[in-house]
């Protein structure tokens, strides 16, 4: 039975504690699951962090590892979502020689067409920032690469779900129970 491997987004709501990243990454490591991208930040709830992790795995693998995440004492709740269930984006930055802006007028069209934003310009270089889907970023990378890129960096996916998460209500229930 060969189940289809999908790109899945895993959301893990956690207490904001040192060392939790180790526990989470160890769960992937033991199962030889490669993390495509990982973002962690404060969530919509005060004092609660959210990990957003993109992996290519089957849904049954996802169900099992979500169970393993939830088993961790400091994990409040974990979920997995298919791409169509989320609204997601990634962002990236390009550092490019300033001279190219003038020598290669085509670059200006690329910037305009891609909806990229110039963050800063100085005599030596300028920096572009672009947010969007992975394929848009890759396309921009391909277009700019022809002219030479001094530095490129892409941040992990951030995602929100189309459906309600109900995590806030759950936390309120927790808090009431503990009081």
Partner 1 sequence: MNNTQTANKKQEVAQETMRITGSEAIIRCLIAEGVDILYGYPGGAIMPVYDELYKFRDQIHHVLTRHEQGAAHAAQGYARISGRVGVAIATSGPGATNLVTGIADAQIDSTPVVCITGQVFSHLLGTDAFQETDIIGISTPVTKWNHQITKAADIPEVLAKAFYIAKSGRPGPVLIDITKDAQVSELDFKYEKCKGVRSYIPIPKTNPETLSAAAELINSAKKPLIVWGQGVILGQAENELKAIIEKAGIPAAWTILGASAIPTSHELNVGMVGMHGNYAPNMLTNECDVLIAIGMRFDDRVTGSLNTYAKQAKIIHFDIDPAEIDKNVKTDVAVLGDSKDSLSRLLPLLNENKHADWLQKFKDLYAIEFEKVIKDDIFPTKEGLTMGEVLKQINIETKGNAAIVSDVGQHQMIACRYAEFTTTKSNITSGGLGTMGFALPAAIGAKMAAPDREVVAIIGDGGYQMNIQELGTIFQQKAAVKIVVLNNEFLGMVRQWQQLFFDKRYASTEMTNPDFVTIAKGYYIEGKRVTKREELADAVKEMIASKESYFLEVCVEKEGNVFPMIPSGASVSEVRLS
Query: Footprint of partner 1 on this chain (CB under 8 A)?
Result: 14-15, 18-19, 22-23, 26, 30, 63-64, 67-68, 70-71, 73-76, 171, 174-175, 177-179
Query: Least distance from C-beta 167 to partner 1, angstroms?
Result: 11
In contact, 24 and 74? CB cutoff 8 Å: no
Question: Nearer Cβ to partner 1, position 67 or 148?
Answer: 67
Task: Calculate the dihedral angle through the C-alpha atoms of 131, 136, 140, 142, rounding to the nearest 10 degrees.
Answer: 140
Query: Least distance from C-beta 74 to partner 1, angstroms?
Result: 5
Q: How far is CA 154 from CA 39, 44, 97, 128, in A?
A: 11, 24, 19, 12
Minimal CA–CA distance to 93: which of 142, 136, 155, 41?
155
Query: Least distance from C-beta 15 to partner 1, angstroms?
Result: 5
Question: Nearer Cβ to partner 1, position 50 or 157?
Answer: 50
Minimal CA–CA distance to 32: which of 55, 7, 66?
55
Question: Nearer Cβ to partner 1, position 34 or 178?
Answer: 178
Question: Nearer Cβ to partner 1, position 34 or 175?
Answer: 175
């Amino acid at each position: 039975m060969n189940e289809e491997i999908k790109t899945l987004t895993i959301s893990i709501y956690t207490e904001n504690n040192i060392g939790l990243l180790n526990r989470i990454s160890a769960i992937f490591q033991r199962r030889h699951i490669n993390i495509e991208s990982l973002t962690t930040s404060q969530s919509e709830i005060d004092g609660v962090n959210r990990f957003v992790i993109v992996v290519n795995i089957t849904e049954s693998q996802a169900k099992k590892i979500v169970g393993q995440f939830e088993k961790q004492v400091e994990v409040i709740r974990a979920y997995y979502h298919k791409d169509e269930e989320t609204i997601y984006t990634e962002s990236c930055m390009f550092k490019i020689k300033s001279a190219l802006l003038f020598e290669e007028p085509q670059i200006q069209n690329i910037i305009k067409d891609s909806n990229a934003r110039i963050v800063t310009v100085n005599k030596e270089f300028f920096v572009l920032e672009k947010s969007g889907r992975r394929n848009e970023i890759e396309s921009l990378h391909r277009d700019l690469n022809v002219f030479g890129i001094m530095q490129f960096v892409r941040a992990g996916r951030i995602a929100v779900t189309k459906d309600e998460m109900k995590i806030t209500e759950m936390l309120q229930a927790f808090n009431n129970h503990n009081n």
